């Protein structure tokens, strides 16, 4: 009766049993008389079974009924495959005000995982919370009930009504959930296609989850595989290459127009006029391209100081607005991004400037990303100057976006391949308990028969003979197990489907009576998990 006590001692499973009711008295029914959709209480049946077992000798009907109970309600949740589910809200489905309320700080992820796994139908969990998305990944005993419990938990922690969350959430199950996290990790679900920050955030989920009770084998395996996919997509498709924003396109265009010998950002003297949002982004993109020194012209020094603090190790020189022309005379590339409604540079201003460095051909580049324009089109008439504005940048951005879309299609091929590999890995987990139990069963028989053989052979046998007999018995057992083990493996190495493999597994469980041991182990594992 060890299994019965383990079953009763698991609060989560007792709660699950209450959802699966019986209408016929315990002990008076057979297996086929146990409908799965009836509505009467099962808790009283458990109590009645306890009383009958303690107050009187167990009769055959009572024992049979208890076995039915174990094999119907509890076994349903241990035999049936749990589902990977993602309940999420992202920049594509929910406003920022809602995402802010739902957001969970990284330091709180372990607590959130613990609370989620405390829900009746949730076995494992992970939280991916960024500025653009709030997604909860769970391994659920029941899809419908698991989603309901997680949604209610999200409502409780955020203060947002369930009905409002339901309007903006998205739900994905199993293969669709797997494909989604793989696309997220690869940057295909980001606003900027192929951006790399999300991969670092997925890595952080795994890092924080290490050692957290509830970040289990299935969910941790999913995120680790997602990291592999993200790396592979970026390596094989180079999807992150090419500017897709105005500021990054401005930097890319400027470097493209420099002579090949000076096409590195550190080779030319850079001047940025305006330290607002766009100017700050230009500075960051220049730094990303290797620029270590630049001059920034702005009305006040306050914003330049703030930028300087954000990018230590880079020399950012401040110049006031009245030194703009003098600063331009010392620059090879001039980026303009101010809110001025009149041009800052006209032909008469530029033609008085000395030529740019001989290393870049003596031609000064003006890259104007302002609307209205800060550099007049008449500047193009100056022989030693070239002007590029937002319209020129649009062509770069559009070309890069089109290129990234082509690469995204290539990435989908990789994701499909990796999804199949992950599903094959998950499928292989189904048969692991049976493989272990069958090996243990065969080993018990081998040891018992070996002991009988050795006792018959007497005490005077030498170590060499003992070793030979032991090796013989192991060889026989391994040869015997080879066929069943091959038919239990579902790792994508053969054409057998999962259903065929599971049929083989259930057949072996029935033939050798392994199901009871496997169920008992699962119940004990769930009980110990609840007690941690």
Q: Which residues does the annotation mark as catalytic?
A: 131
Contact 491, 425 (CB under 8 A): yes
Contact 339, 273 (CB under 8 A): no
SS3 call for 12: helix
User: Alpha helix locations (H) across 458-497?
Assistant: 463-486
Q: How far is CA 205 from CA 112, 133, 177, in A?
A: 12, 13, 16
Which DSSP helix (H) or strand (E) runs through 295? strand 293-298
How far is 32 from 25, CA to CA, in rounded Å?
14
Contact 308, 284 (CB under 8 A): no
- Cα separation of the two ends of the chain: 24
Phi, psi of 200 (to 5 degrees): -65, -35
- DSSP-derived letter for residue 443 is H
Burial of 244 (0-12, 13-18, 19+ CB in 10 A): buried
How far is 273 from 368, CA to CA, in rounded Å?
10
Residue 275: which residues within 8 A CB-CB, separation 6 or more? 283, 296, 298, 303, 304, 307
How far is 120 from 123, CA to CA, in rounded Å?
8
**Judging by DSSP bridges, how do beta strands 364-368 and 333-336 pair with one another?**
parallel
DSSP 91-152: TTTS-HHHHHHH---GGGHHHHHHHHHTSTTEEEEEEEE-SSEEEEEEEESSHHHHHHHHHH
Strand residue runs (E) in 14-79: none
- DSSP-derived letter for residue 385 is E
How far is 115 from 81, CA to CA, in rounded Å?
22
* Residue from 363, 367, 413 nearest 390 by CA: 367
Angle between helices 277-288 and 246-257 (to 10 degrees): 50
How far is 325 from 386, CA to CA, in rounded Å?
16
Strand partners, 173: 85
Q: Which residue has the tokens 């020189």?
A: 317
How far is 427 from 430, CA to CA, in rounded Å?
6
Nearest-5° Cα angle at 28, 27 to 34: 90
- DSSP-derived letter for residue 389 is -
Strand partners, 386: 365
* Residue from 317, 320, 314, 375 nearest 350 by CA: 375
Strand partners, 90: 133
């Amino acid at each position: 009766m060890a299994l019965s006590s383990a079953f009763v001692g698991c609060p989560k499973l007792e709660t699950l049993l209450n959802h699966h009711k019986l209408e016929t008295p315990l002990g008076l029914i057979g297996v086929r008389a146990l409908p799965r959709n009836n509505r009467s209480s099962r808790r009283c049946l458990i109590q009645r079974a306890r009383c009958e077992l303690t107050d009187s000798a167990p009769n055959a009907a009572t024992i049979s009924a208890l076995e039915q109970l174990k094999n119907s309600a509890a076994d349903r949740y241990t035999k049936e495959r749990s589902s990977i589910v993602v309940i999420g809200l992202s920049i594509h489905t929910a406003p920022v005000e809602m995402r802010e309320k739902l957001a969970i700080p990284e330091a709180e992820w372990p607590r959130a995982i613990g609370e989620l796994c405390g829900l009746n139908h949730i076995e494992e969990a992970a939280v991916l919370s960024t500025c653009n998305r709030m997604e909860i990944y769970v391994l659920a005993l029941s899809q419908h009930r698991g989603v309901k419990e997680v949604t209610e938990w999200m409502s409780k922690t955020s203060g947002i009504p369930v009905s409002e969350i339901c309007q903006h959430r998205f739900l994905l199950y199993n293969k669709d959930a797997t494909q989604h996290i793989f696309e997220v990790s690869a940057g295909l679900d980001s606003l900027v296609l192929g951006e790399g920050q999300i991969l670092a955030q997925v890595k952080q989920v795994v890092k924080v989850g290490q050692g957290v009770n509830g970040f289990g084998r299935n969910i941790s395996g999913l995120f680790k595989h997602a990291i592999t996919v993200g790396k592979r997509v970026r390596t094989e498709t180079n999807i992150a290459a090419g500017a897709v924003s105005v500021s990054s396109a401005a930097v890319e265009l400027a470097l493209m127009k420099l002579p090949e010998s000076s096409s590195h950002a550190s080779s030319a003297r850079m001047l940025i006029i305006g330290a607002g949002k766009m100017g700050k982004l230009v500075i960051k993109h220049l730094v990303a391209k290797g620029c270590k020194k630049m001059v920034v012209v702005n009305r006040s020094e306050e914003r330049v100081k703030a930028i300087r603090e954000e990018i230590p190790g880079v020399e950012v020189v401040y110049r006031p607005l009245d030194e703009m022309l003098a600063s331009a005379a010392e620059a090879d590339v001039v980026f303009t991004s101010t809110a001025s409604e009149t041009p800052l540079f006209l032909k008469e201003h530029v033609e008085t400037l000395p030529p740019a460095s001989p290393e870049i051909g003596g031609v000064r580049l003006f890259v104007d990303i302002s609307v209205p324009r800060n550099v007049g089109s008449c500047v193009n008439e100056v022989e030693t100057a070239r002007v590029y504005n937002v319209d020129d940048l649009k062509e770069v951005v559009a070309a890069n976006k089109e290129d990234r879309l082509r690469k995204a299609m290539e990435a989908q091929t990789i994701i499909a391949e990796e999804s199949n590999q992950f599903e094959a890995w998950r499928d292989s987990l189904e048969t692991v308990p049976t493989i272990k139990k069958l090996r243990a069963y065969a080993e018990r028989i081998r040891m018992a028969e070996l002991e009988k053989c050795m006792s018959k052979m007497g005490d005077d046998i030498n170590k060499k003979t003992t070793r030979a007999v032991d090796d013989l018995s192991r060889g026989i057992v391994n040869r015997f197990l080879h066929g069943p083990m091959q038919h239990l493996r579902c790792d994508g190495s053969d054409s057998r489907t999962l259903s065929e493999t599971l049929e083989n597994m259930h057949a072996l469980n029935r033939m050798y009576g392994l199901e009871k041991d496997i169920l008992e182990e699962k119940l004990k594992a769930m009980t110990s998990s609840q007690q941690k």
